[in-house]
Structure 1
Amino acid sequence: MLHLGSYCTQLDHGVKHRDGTQLSHLVALDGKHAPQLLDWLDRPDRGPARADRALDQPSPTYAAQFRRTLQKDGPWADIATNHVWALVALHPPVNPLTGQLHGQVDAVFAYQKQHDAVTALYRWLIDARDLPTGWALPLLYVVCRDLRKVAEQADQQLLANGHKATRLEDASRLLQKCFSCCLNDRASDMMASRKMGTYYLASLLFKTYFRLNSTALCKNIIRGINAADLPPLTAFPRAHRVAYTYYMAVFAFLREDYPQAERGFVEALGMTHRKMKRNIELILDYLIPLLLVRGVFPSPKLLARSARHETLYEPFVRAVRSGDFAAYERQLEVAQKRLMARGTYLVVERAREGAVRGLLKKAWVLEGKPARMSIERFRSYYNAAQALGLEEDVRLGRVRRDEVERRKKGGEIDGEEMECLLANMIYKGLLKGYISHAHQLVVLSKDKPFPWYPPYRNKGEAFMRERAERETRERQRVVEPAGAAAGAATATAP
């Protein structure tokens, strides 16, 4: 139990010593002080003061105590009062005998009080132009973070009651003001300036805009940062750099600028501590699909960083390696909900082309690596793989036996569809050569008809030289046709 007087003393100590970290702990909605302070408000010996737990009180008793105890030349009494009011709204009293709540959680009321607390702090930061206020940044981080969280809860409550959800959008406008307050600070000491909070507020706004599906507003944040006189990104805390780099990569991903997105996710992953499992998983949610769509296999070391991603993506990797596009489609159906939840389903679906490319290369190898190969031969291999996939579905119980023939006919492709598929593979650089439509032939390039993809990262000239030599040896290797191999086996049989 935390006595209100002790709470006031701790707040006053943090203000007098400009200890923003201590103040941030004391005004966090999920702080350790919250249940202890609420227990004190529930004390039976408080008498009429227990009405402080009701939301309809225009002036709770703790507001007067905050005004008497805390410094008068700042927003501290208002921040503390609104903070406790928000706690009361989010945590109704509990009957100790039945364990039931006396009242309902009112997230809308809590949001309004949290909004008032952030507004009070923002006005103080704006008015204190000649005073160093960088020490209050930890406090600003916490109240803005809690504002966004409570706004989401308030919107859920409004939707449940049949009202329009507007609180998160309203919160974004106040967060934008706080961002500008940090970005435009003119303090001479840059390291003690509010500018050091720019990237934290930018990341918080990115997260808010993504939730609101207002990604176009992210451009305003980026333009403001690019035009501002900020220290280099390396001068900011690592947590801020990782978050900003991650959200910039997500923004690039949503614009379908996949090369830029991949570079951003790789950079963010390199800066993330190995113990931050949740952050690593959030990065891998996007990075692995981007690697797959580029035709790069995620390394076992990369997949091992998250057991969930290893289970989810290992079947995709095996399917691409073996050229089994039917297995790829099965795993795509299994993982559909999880991929759609992260917004990466379409990217993983596009990566199916890698499995088709693997099948075409297998067909070319089995035919003896000819310089020309008919479209009909490619089509027969494709339809055979489709039929094998249906048999596997029957074995797994996903398809009834009596549906196999019908699905075979519906899944088989004709010559025109196969020619279109091959043309797309050539256009996307997955196959080198050209199609002779008149002769229904694919004329394959003599130099790497199935080129390798660029590596995940630059591994140096020695690696690239060794890989080129290995490919040359592969091209020079003579592959016997399947019929010749069978005849040789028959001739040597006793």
Structure 2
Amino acid sequence: MAHLTLNQYLQQIDNAWRSRDGISLADFVSFRHAHVASSKLQMENPESSVERVLEPPMDEIVAAHLKCVWYVNNQDFVQAYYCQQLLVQAFVKIFQMQRDQNWALPVMYAICIDLRLLAQQADKLLALRGSGRPLETLEKAADILMSCFRVCAADNRSAEESTKRWGMLALVNQLFKVYFRINKLHLCKPLIRAIESSPYKDQFSLSQQITYKYYVGRKHMFASDYKSADMYLTFAFERCHKKSVRNKRLILIYLIPVKMLLGYMPQRGMLEKYDLLQFWEVAEAVKVGNLELLNNVMQHHEAFFIKFGIFLILEKLKYVCIRNLFKKVFDILKMSRIPVAALMTALKLMKIDDIDISETMCILANLINEGKIKGYISFHHKILVLSKQQAFPPLSMVTR
């Protein structure tokens, strides 16, 4: 394939097109196929050569692909992206005309993945040149991906085998990858509704379902819906292939903080297996209510937590840590009426030196409001009055 001539390449495409072989055709317009390494296919102006062999509209798609290959090999990812954009737009027109067929779905998958990846490379190049808005190309790519999604979603035919709706989840996953990168998670909502209401929701390929659950789980996590996040991320982790260690580790980076916020602390053996011991000291500090240690650990691993966007999520564990600290005070005093001054003293022992009674009562009010502590504050007497039944309920019962 690396020595494929232009004529051989075009003939194979023509054969795949005429026989409706979507898988082979997808290979011949994909950057993950060996033909892109052939020097004989790297042409700046391939239009006339392509038109001699292929008929419209296939000639437009292949010419755009060959130009894209040319620009990629010349490291001009901006022009490569524009060629890929023309390719996808031309494909969408063909795809819409194939009203009773979905054999071209593999082609759509291949060219949409390349569109997203080329957009990322184009944005990097534009950033180096100091031109354009950050992630501007990726935003444009999202609009084109959405046009493909609309074609699939609009196919309301009842014939399961030939409906284009089988392509919806793959496109949603590509769009999720874009929206998370450009930080526009609100755009995920209509996509989630479309998938959740689809009759094929549980029939898509497992790999696509895992990717979908991973991103939806992360979205729920950022929305502080930890129980839903736990459900989706657990699905993704448990069904991810055991040999896909890198993917399982990535899922755990988000699942572990969610589990901790629900009161379930990770085991050291699992953290060692997936090289995630950054969470071990966090868990140990939270369990014993050691706020000083938690602050130190968070600072020590700050770069790692920020890289994956979970630093602010883990910051919420400070309230869990304080709740556990107050529970230790309760266990020591063995009283249902605890002076707020005693809780303030415990906080000061954790190196929170600038805290006062009013701030301590504010923290208590938040913990009570969130259901992490059952009781009320007597502001006049500056006393925490705890419930006689489960004053410190399990976090899994009170966290959203």
TM above 0.5, one fold? yes
User: Is the aligned partner of 1:240 residue 2:222?
Assistant: no
Identify the residue that residue 62 of structure 2 maps to in structure 1. 80
Deviating more after overlay: 298-307 vs 354-363: 298-307
CA shift for structure 1 position 120: 1.7
User: Is the aligned partner of 1:11 residue 2:13?
Assistant: yes
Identify the residue that residue 319 of structure 2 maps to in structure 1. 353
Q: 1:282-319 CA deviation, whole Å, 9 max, x = no partner?
A: 32232222222233323457545622x3x121111111
Identify the residue that residue 453 of structure 1 maps to in structure 2. 395
CA RMSD of aligned residues (A): 2.6
User: Is the aligned partner of 1:327 residue 2:329?
Assistant: no
User: Is the aligned partner of 1:148 residue 2:111?
Assistant: no
Identify the residue that residue 50 of structure 2 maps to in structure 1. 66
Identify the residue that residue 36 of structure 2 maps to in structure 1. 34
Query: How many pairs does the alignment contain?
Result: 394
Identity of aligned residues (%): 31
User: Is the aligned partner of 1:125 residue 2:90?
Assistant: no
Quickly say closer, same or farther: Cα 1:437–1:209, change in 2 above 3 A: closer
User: Matched residues in 2 for 1:438 and 1:383: separation?
Assistant: 22
User: Is the aligned partner of 1:423 residue 2:365?
Assistant: yes
User: Matched residues in 1 for 2:350 and 2:85: separation?
Assistant: 60
Instruction: Mark the structure with the bigger radius of gyration.
Output: 1
Aligned residue for 1:213, secondary structure, equals: coil
Q: 1:38-73 CA deviation, whole Å, 9 max, x = no partner?
A: 2x35xxxxxxxxxx65x4xxx43xx44433334x2x
Aligned residue for 1:192, secondary structure, equals: coil
CA shift for structure 1 position 180: 0.9
Aligned residue for 2:377, secondary structure, equals: strand
CA shift for structure 1 position 235: 1.7
2:309 partner letter: G
User: Is the aligned partner of 1:284 residue 2:268?
Assistant: no
User: Matched residues in 1 for 2:123 and 2:62: separation?
Assistant: 24
User: Matched residues in 1 for 2:397 and 2:357: separation?
Assistant: 34
Q: 1:269 aligns with which of 237, 256, 265?
A: 237
On the 8 A contact 2:61/2:90 being kept in 1, the answer is: yes
Identify the residue that residue 211 of structure 1 maps to in structure 2. 181
User: Matched residues in 2 for 1:2 and 1:33: separation?
Assistant: 7
User: Matched residues in 1 for 2:350 and 2:140: separation?
Assistant: 54
User: Is the aligned partner of 1:434 residue 2:376?
Assistant: yes
Q: 1:384 aligns with which of 342, 349, 374?
A: 349
CA shift for structure 1 position 2: 2.4
Aligned residue for 2:385, secondary structure, equals: strand
On the 8 A contact 1:29/1:83 being kept in 2, the answer is: no
1:378 partner letter: L
User: Matched residues in 2 for 1:378 and 1:173: separation?
Assistant: 54
Quickly say closer, same or farther: Cα 1:168–1:444, change in 2 above 3 A: closer
On the 8 A contact 2:116/2:178 being kept in 1, the answer is: yes
Quickly say closer, same or farther: Cα 1:282–1:75, change in 2 above 3 A: farther
Quickly say closer, same or farther: Cα 1:323–1:223, change in 2 above 3 A: closer
User: Is the aligned partner of 1:373 residue 2:341?
Assistant: no
Aligned residue for 1:108, secondary structure, equals: helix
Quickly say closer, same or farther: Cα 1:322–1:23, change in 2 above 3 A: same
Identify the residue that residue 307 of structure 2 maps to in structure 1. 341
Q: 1:139 aligns with which of 94, 97, 107?
A: 107
CA shift for structure 1 position 187: 4.6
Aligned residue for 1:69, secondary structure, equals: coil
On the 8 A contact 1:294/1:351 being kept in 2, the answer is: no
Quickly say closer, same or farther: Cα 1:170–1:332, change in 2 above 3 A: same
User: Matched residues in 2 for 1:19 and 1:238: separation?
Assistant: 23
Quickly say closer, same or farther: Cα 1:375–1:186, change in 2 above 3 A: closer
2:209 partner letter: R
Q: Normalised by the size of structure 1, how large is the TM-score?
A: 0.73
Structure 2: 5+ residue stretches without partners = none
User: Matched residues in 2 for 1:237 and 1:32: separation?
Assistant: 26
User: Matched residues in 1 for 2:346 and 2:190: separation?
Assistant: 52
Quickly say closer, same or farther: Cα 1:427–1:139, change in 2 above 3 A: same
On the 8 A contact 2:84/2:115 being kept in 1, the answer is: yes
User: Matched residues in 2 for 1:148 and 1:325: separation?
Assistant: 43
Write the mapping of 1:224-239 to structure 2, written as runs, cut at 5 A: 224-225=194-195, 230-239=198-207
Aligned residue for 1:295, secondary structure, equals: coil
Aligned residue for 2:264, secondary structure, equals: coil
Identify the residue that residue 197 of structure 1 maps to in structure 2. 167
On the 8 A contact 2:105/2:167 being kept in 1, the answer is: yes
Identify the residue that residue 316 of structure 1 maps to in structure 2. 282
On the 8 A contact 2:286/2:324 being kept in 1, the answer is: yes
CA shift for structure 1 position 345: 1.6
Quickly say closer, same or farther: Cα 1:334–1:222, change in 2 above 3 A: same
CA shift for structure 1 position 225: 4.7
Aligned residue for 1:411, secondary structure, equals: coil
1:221 partner letter: L
Aligned residue for 2:376, secondary structure, equals: strand
Q: 1:97-116 CA deviation, whole Å, 9 max, x = no partner?
A: xxxxxxxx211111111111
User: Matched residues in 2 for 1:254 and 1:418: separation?
Assistant: 27
User: Matched residues in 2 for 1:435 and 1:262: separation?
Assistant: 32
Identify the residue that residue 465 of structure 1 maps to in structure 2. none
Identify the residue that residue 106 of structure 1 maps to in structure 2. 76
User: Matched residues in 2 for 1:69 and 1:376: separation?
Assistant: 86
On the 8 A contact 1:295/1:351 being kept in 2, the answer is: no
On the 8 A contact 2:115/2:141 being kept in 1, the answer is: yes
